[in-house]
Amino acid sequence: MTTVPTARERVRAELTAEITDAARRQLADVGAAALSLRAVARELGMASSALYRYFPSRDDLLTRLIIDGYDALGAAAEPADDPAAPPRSRWLAVCRAVRAWALAHPHEYALLYGSPVPGYRAPADTVPAASRVGVVLGRILGDAAHAGALPPATGERGRGLVSVDAVAVLGGEHPALDETVRVRALMAWSGLFGTISFELFGHFVGSVEDADRYFDRAMGELAALIGL
């Protein structure tokens, strides 16, 4: 049975959305480090004390923005994966979707993968949302392993090298997924975001002439590194 929100709950949800929208605009103007609850309240014509009832501190607002950002990124990546397609095509499609979201939302991407905000430590609440893209990429790897589409593995298992949580995300337990494959998968995962960050923050200027072609080539090389 679906529960219908009360009028008070609807008002709270609408105002919470207005607050986070204003905070995102502030991200674009001044960056995450300068995010201010007082400035957000001022933009919305609210008293600071009223805004504190929704977000008791700047860090609470930052956490909400970070979770929303990761969820939006995950929502862009997940439908890009077609389980009926070959593993390499799936990998490239998801990578392109992640890049497209980042280019369309540069300030939110910078909040997630840019410079850390001084004095802020992300709580464990952010982990499920932050893992959504990794889960998609790990599912592609796991499906490839179960389909026999990966090269033969050596069976190497290095205790304490890759965490149990990372193993679960990166395809789970399978004979084809040894430590070499997992390390390469983590390299590819970080390589995806490193490549996007270099492009978004201007580090490819003077080095890359065609960003679209370079990205596809780089993601293809990472797919090959994993064995896709």
CATH architecture of 66-226: Orthogonal Bundle (1.10)
Check residue 4 and give its pLDDT.
65
We find that the CATH architecture of domain 1-56 is Orthogonal Bundle (1.10)
pLDDT of residue 12: 81
Question: What is the model's pLDDT at position 7?
Answer: 72
Q: Please report, for the chain, the start and end positions of each structural domain, with discontinuous segments joined by +.
A: 1-56, 66-226
Are 59 and 120 in contact by the 8 Å Cβ rule? The answer is yes
Looking at residue 158, its pLDDT comes to 67
Predicted local confidence at residue 93, as pLDDT = 98
State how far the alpha carbon of 207 is from the alpha carbons of 24, 55, 203, 214, in Å. Answer: 31, 43, 8, 10
One fold for both 1-56 and 66-226? no
Q: What is the pLDDT of residue 2?
A: 60
pLDDT of residue 13: 84
**pLDDT of the residue at 30:** 87
What stretches in the chain show pLDDT beneath 50?
none
Quick one: pLDDT at residue 149?
92
